Amino acid sequence: MAIRDIVKDGDPILRKKCRPVEVFDEKLGKLLDDMRETMNKADGVGLAGPQVGILRQVVVIEVGDFYVELINPEILETSGEQIGVEGCLSVEGKNCYVARPNFVKVKYCDRYGKQMLLECEGLPARAVFHETDHLQGVLFYDKEYKGKVNRKKL
Ligand code: ZN
């Protein structure tokens, strides 16, 4: 495994749309291992392909004991709402509130190309939305929530 450089905001690669992964090979496995290590070293909870300069639909998410690799993710269902603070390993020194659905059901492939389904809510769901946005060239502050926030509810 190896630590990769994290692409920083201002680099146009973060604004490009990613193509699906077509080949599930050792190179993909190595990329995912590197992404996980890079995310852990940077103390993040998620990392998407463009953040390491790869314009492919690959995401790693790790929230506590929950770890998942999403390849070619497709959101099937969402429900509810959560308003919380987000930041990004590519965007230094900026955090803001973002409203996201509380629940997500997502179809994806694992690193071997097997079709999988994931349902989650709360923080892992927030990470799914944040990271899948990266695959579309969208950054969290594009969606800054400007309404009133009741801090007790967070
Ligand atoms: Zn991010």
pLDDT by residue (tens digit) across 65-121? Answer: 999 999 999 999 999 999 999 999 999 999 999 999 999 999 999 999 999 999 999
d(CA 46, CA 79): 21
Residue 99 domain-assigned?
yes
Residue 6 domain-assigned?
no
Residue 151 domain-assigned?
no
CATH code: domain of residue 133: 3.90.45.10
Q: What is the CA(148)–ligand 1 centre distance, in A?
A: 24
Neighbours of ion ligand 1 (CB under 5 A): 88
Q: What is the CA(113)–ligand 1 centre distance, in A?
A: 24
Q: What is the CA(82)–ligand 1 centre distance, in A?
A: 18
Q: Is 69 noted as a catalytic residue in this protein? A: no
Residue 18 domain-assigned?
yes
Q: How many domains does the chain have?
A: 1
Residue 89 domain-assigned?
yes
Taking the model in full, what pTM does it have?
0.95
Residue 103 domain-assigned?
yes
Domain that holds residue 127: 12-143
